[in-house]
Amino acid sequence: MTDLTTRRTTAAVAPVMPSTGARRGIGLDEATLHDGFWKRMQDVNASASLQHSLDWMERLGWIENFDRVANGGTGPDRPGWMFSDSEIYKLIEALAWEFGRTGDQEIDAMLERLVDRILPAEDDDGYLNTCYGHDGQEPRYSDLERGHELYCAGHLIQAAVARLRTVGEDRLVALGRRVADHVCREFGADARQGLCGHPEIEVALMELARATGEERYREQAELFIERRGQGTLRPIPLLGPGYFQDDVPVRETEAWHGHAVRALYLAAAAVDLAVDRDDAGLLAALEAQWRRTVERRTYITGGMGSRHQDEGFGDDWELPPDRAYCETCAGIASNMVSWRLYLATGDVAYADLIERTLYNVVATSPSDDGRAFFYANPLQQREAGEEAVPDAVNARAEGGERAPWFEVSCCPTNLARTLASFTAYTASVDDDGMVSLLQYAAGEYRIEVAGGEVRLRIDTRYPDEGSVTVTVLAAPEGGASLRLRVPHWAHGAALERDGSTTAVETGWAAAHGLQAGAVLTLILPMHPRFSWPDARIDAVRGTVAVERGPLVLCLEERDLPDGAALDGVRVDAELAPLAHEDGALISADTAPSPHEGARRPSFGAVPAEPSGSSTLLPLVPYHRWAQRGPTAMRVFLPSRP
């Protein structure tokens, strides 16, 4: 049984702790969330998704793969993809953060039982992988392009970092160090000049260096980052070197491209390197990549990845809603990058994108019961999909229905570790004591600042309602400094203090010298609003979306009146949308599917538009789509010509 009281300083209980810089995110132990949007997601994750993931991986033999290495029973018939080990490691990381968050001994025991299984599979020299290097398997590092060995090692190391920061040194941490040392020996400056087809080891080694103070891990991460983009890897047929970002060095990249998760994990590590090395040029390059990518290659949901073929970014402005890939893991990875850039710069835009992505990608993936997930998150479902096969492995759930598990099942465990550590992204603190509130979640916050502690209580029903009340429970000498994020969409926001209300611009609303008992209330306008796409996004020309607060809304076909079809809806954009439940009502013409029955060719001599009768239609939050069962759905609705 692990004793949480032995753990290290509270300031370090977080996934990302830059070694330099004037800003840190808060630790998991610096806040206790009360009931609300994210607390509910965390609780479902803890009570359902963790065990659900464990059960599937046991059932499919992914955990037994470790036993087979330990007992010499390997062969060519290994179940699972070559990267399945990483899913167990991501689950361990999730369990580590979850135990750090709650101290739940059952969670700790679940973690320890998994460590019992993986430890015996370690080779004498610190190599740990169930797919390569043993009887009946291909040799170690014989397929760096596709083998994912360093990727798996990276996730094991991230699990070790989570353990180190939540409970301190233990056998998992020691294993992580040995695995990292093995990687440094095998891939160091004087050793094999290789890199992994899937970035991940870089961001893991960076954080391990920060958590242990061992510089050699940072040097190894740097080697991997700088080696990339030189054409070292053999291109995968039909995908090319851009798929795994081996075409252009990180410093010279203009926009993220290729496989989205690969590009974003690499970028996250590069931000870490820029920060820890105080490399302003590299940081500026990464900020420019973020701006370009967010402006031109990112969906209104924050989703990234327009293409199924390579799970990758498309060209600028290539943002089809129906074929949006928007992998859940890419949303998580986008937040990893934005969070690091926020800590490095303090720019509110990064926190804004994190919010967008959290509510509209991360929150969209899991089902209400935490036992089914979206892998891809398209913004349009043309026809109601089929029910996911219950209790079965699905391919990739390309829209339609959340599925209990996937052949490539990276998303459920990635969600698990993200939700378990969510609290860490809610606030940051600067060296000068300024506390920044970033993601609004009700709870109590006890944040260590220079010269003492700031204690706050936040009361809010955000995003259902727009008021966020912050009560200062304790402040250091001279009072507390606070700044509250005013989201970029929150035009007309106001701050109440001591009975007086002040209009605030988007960005930050700051207050200083706050003593215990001070109360601030941020009022964010939550009426639904139209969002018009940039004219360069061809795929949604002539359409409009509706947002409400941080939520993107959508129209589900099931909510249409009888006889109306989703592709017959034309929004009346002269009438502003109205708030309705947690979504909106819009005025629209509805009609049966255009020309259904009247056969005509797809291309004709005159423009064709359905004509129908005007009515009010209810929109619901996109993150809830298909929770009531399969349905056709649209985020972008054609507007009346």
* Contacts with a second copy, residue ranges (CB under 8 A): 237-240, 291, 294-296, 298, 300, 307-309, 314-323, 380, 382-383, 395-396, 407-408, 488, 529-545, 567, 573, 593-595, 599-610, 638, 641
Q: How far is the CB of 486 from a second copy (least distance, A)?
A: 16
Q: Tokens for 448? A: 């260590």
Q: Which is nearer to a second copy, 76 or 599 (CB)?
A: 599
Question: Which is nearest to 419 in space by CA: 11, 49, 4?
Answer: 49
Q: How far is the CB of 258 from a second copy (least distance, A)?
A: 13
CB atoms < 10 A from the CB of 481, how many? 21
Q: Which is nearer to a second copy, 250 or 544 (CB)?
A: 544
List the beta bridge partners of residue 571.
Answer: 588, 639
Q: How far is the CB of 286 from a second copy (least distance, A)?
A: 18
Using CA atoms, how far apart are residues 537 and 591, in angstroms rounded to an integer?
26
Q: How far is the CB of 331 from a second copy (least distance, A)?
A: 16
Q: Which is nearer to a second copy, 429 or 546 (CB)?
A: 546
Q: Which is nearer to a second copy, 94 or 353 (CB)?
A: 353
Q: Which is nearer to a second copy, 362 or 545 (CB)?
A: 545
Q: 357-392: string of b/e by CB count within 10 Å (b at 16+)? A: bbbbbbbbbbbeebbbbbbbbbbbbbebbeebeeee
Q: Which is nearer to a second copy, 185 or 382 (CB)?
A: 382
Question: Which is nearest to 549 in space by CA: 569, 529, 520?
Answer: 529
Q: Which is nearer to a second copy, 396 or 417 (CB)?
A: 396
Q: How far is the CB of 426 from a second copy (least distance, A)?
A: 24
Q: What is the 3-state secondary structure (H, E, C) of 310-338?
A: CCECCCCCCCCCCCCCCCHHHHHHHHHHH
Using CA atoms, how far apart are residues 364 and 264, in angstroms rounded to an integer?
20
Q: How far is the CB of 201 from a second copy (least distance, A)?
A: 25
Using CA atoms, how far apart are residues 133 and 127, in angstroms rounded to an integer?
9
Q: Which is nearer to a second copy, 500 or 602 (CB)?
A: 602
Q: What is the 3-state secondary structure (H, E, C) of 476-512?
A: CCCCEEEEEEECCCCCCCEEEECCEEEECCCEEEEEE
Angle of helix 201-212 relative to helix 171-187, nearest 10 degrees, comes to 120
Query: Please, which residues have CB within 8 angstroms of residue 566's CB and are 6 or more apart in sequence?
Result: 555, 557, 560, 632, 633, 634
Q: How far is the CB of 9 from a second copy (least distance, A)?
A: 39
Q: Which is nearer to a second copy, 366 or 399 (CB)?
A: 399
Q: Which is nearer to a second copy, 315 or 369 (CB)?
A: 315
Q: How far is the CB of 264 from a second copy (least distance, A)?
A: 18
Q: What is the 3-state secondary structure (H, E, C) of 346-410?
A: CCHHHHHHHHHHHHHHHCCCECCCCCCECCCCCCEECCCCCCCCCCCEECCCCCCCCECEECCCH
Q: Tokens for 19? A: 């070694």
Q: How far is the CB of 408 from a second copy (least distance, A)?
A: 7
Q: Tokens for 510? A: 């700051």
Q: Which is nearer to a second copy, 155 or 296 (CB)?
A: 296
Using CA atoms, how far apart are residues 91 and 413, in angstroms rounded to an integer?
5
Q: How far is the CB of 633 from a second copy (least distance, A)?
A: 13
Q: Which is nearer to a second copy, 117 or 308 (CB)?
A: 308
Alpha-carbon distances, residue 322 vs 98, 144, 326, 375, 400 (angstroms)? 35, 34, 11, 15, 11
Q: Tokens for 527? A: 């009426």
Q: Tokens for 258? A: 């290729």
β-pair type (405-406, 393-394): parallel
* Residue with the two structure tokens 């040995």: 178
Q: How far is the CB of 416 from a second copy (least distance, A)?
A: 23
Q: Which is nearer to a second copy, 264 or 294 (CB)?
A: 294
Using CA atoms, how far apart are residues 538 and 261, in angstroms rounded to an integer?
25
Q: Which is nearer to a second copy, 191 or 608 (CB)?
A: 608
β-pair type (405-406, 427-430): unpaired
Q: Which is nearer to a second copy, 480 or 617 (CB)?
A: 617
Give kind and range of the element (H or E) at residue 429.
strand 427-430
Q: Tokens for 255? A: 């926009």
Q: Which is nearer to a second copy, 106 or 383 (CB)?
A: 383
Q: How far is the CB of 528 from a second copy (least distance, A)?
A: 12
Q: Tokens for 104? A: 């739940």
Q: How far is the CB of 237 from a second copy (least distance, A)?
A: 6
Q: How far is the CB of 582 from a second copy (least distance, A)?
A: 21
Using CA atoms, how far apart are residues 174 and 351, in angstroms rounded to an integer?
34
Q: How far is the CB of 380 from a second copy (least distance, A)?
A: 7
First CA to last CA across the chain, in angstroms?
A: 66
Query: Please, which residues have CB within 8 angstroms of residue 390's CB and are 6 or more apart in sequence?
Result: 404
Q: How far is the CB of 370 from a second copy (least distance, A)?
A: 25
